[in-house]
Amino acid sequence: MLRVSNISFSYRDTITLKNISFSIAKGQNTAIIGESGCGKSTLLKLIYGLHDLNEGQIFWNETEVLGPKFNLIPGMEFMKYLAQDFDLMPYITVAENVGKFLSNRNLKKKEARIQELLAIVEMSEFASVKAQYLSGGQMQRVAIAKVLALEPEVLLLDEPFSHIDNFRKNSLRRKLFGYLKEKNITCIIATHDSKDILAFTDQTLVIQNGELLANKTTKLLYEHPKNRYIASLFDDVNVIPNYLVLESDERNATILVFPFQLEVVSNSKFQVEIRQSYFKGNGYLVEANFNNQAVFFENAFALEKGDWVFLALKS
């Protein structure tokens, strides 16, 4: 188990993370989400041991994670950290990059391991290509294979799919997170993409202004976000007065509603004016106006600008 206990860290005089505590069970996939600059990447670096804590402690089982003051080479040997800069050697091949830290005692075993990892990241056909000739997305996929090579106990991923084409991203997610579950590898991923989170992580931590705002199962956090900030990290979100969509007389109370939770009905208390319809492939995201506030909902077909419709929560 990974245990993070009351850690704080600052770059010079600016507090980056403050009093963060949580635990992660072995084999669990955990996401860290939050707006840019909230401290996600810094938290990964602290867990890996790249910086010294100002306060608190981090343990993996009974081993304390210590920073550069205590380790000549920063970073814990049972962990692997994938930064956003990939850290590949440009003048050697893809296969050589992936196998860089694998033992040469059994070359057949080494080659088999390299091919297994390249298959996971769908880069087998580029095994003999030098890294300098790869695209950014291809480099990122090779970097993922490289950090898996020695099968770490803990894998730390910082925006691991940010450069990868959408048509490959979904397949790669399935293969990678399936592999991690199969091998019981603990994974922590810092990401902006809700698609990295919803289908593949067990637990999600929400960071805001350097503080831990929420720590719940991913499903529960998505279904019951406690404020607009958390909800907005997953999708567009509407803040709607209770009395418009619920049997309530409370005029000041509001409810958080995602676009897919609203539908057009023949009559309701909630009437909006259409502003724009955005094609999404399987339907439209419609932007409307209610009391000079934008409201978003999904609809099977486009609606005309200036039209008025009634909305209600889907039953």
Q: Tell me, what CATH number does 39's domain have?
A: 3.40.50.300
Phi first, then psi, for residue 223 (nearest 5°) are -75, -25
Q: Tell me, yes or no, whether 112 and 143 share the same domain.
A: yes
Q: Mind listing the pLDDT tens digit for each residue in 113-138? A: 999 999 999 999 999 999 999 999 99
Per DSSP bridges, beta strands 284-290 and 254-257 are unpaired
> 232, 249, 265: which is the final residue of a domain?
232
Q: Tell me, yes or no, whether 227 and 242 share the same domain.
A: no
Q: Tell me, what CATH number does 256's domain have?
A: 2.40.50
Give residue 7's pLDDT.
Answer: 96
Q: Mind listing the pLDDT tens digit for each residue in 158-175? A: 999 988 888 888 899 999
Q: Tell me, yes or no, whether 75 and 184 share the same domain.
A: yes
Other Cβ atoms closer than 10 A to 92: 14
Q: Mind listing the pLDDT tens digit for each residue in 205-225? A: 999 999 999 999 999 999 999
Q: Tell me, yes or no, whether 287 and 179 share the same domain.
A: no
In angstroms, the CA 46 to CA 127 distance is 33
Q: Tell me, yes or no, whether 9 and 67 share the same domain.
A: yes
Q: Tell me, yes or no, whether 261 and 275 share the same domain.
A: yes
Domain that holds residue 307: 238-313
> 192, 210, 232: which is the final residue of a domain?
232
In angstroms, the CA 10 to CA 55 distance is 10
In angstroms, the CA 254 to CA 24 distance is 33
CB 257 within 8 A of CB 300: no
CB 297 within 8 A of CB 313: no
Q: Is the pTM of this model over 0.95?
A: no
Q: Tell me, yes or no, whether 193 and 269 share the same domain.
A: no
In angstroms, the CA 303 to CA 307 distance is 7
Number of structural domains, the chain?
2
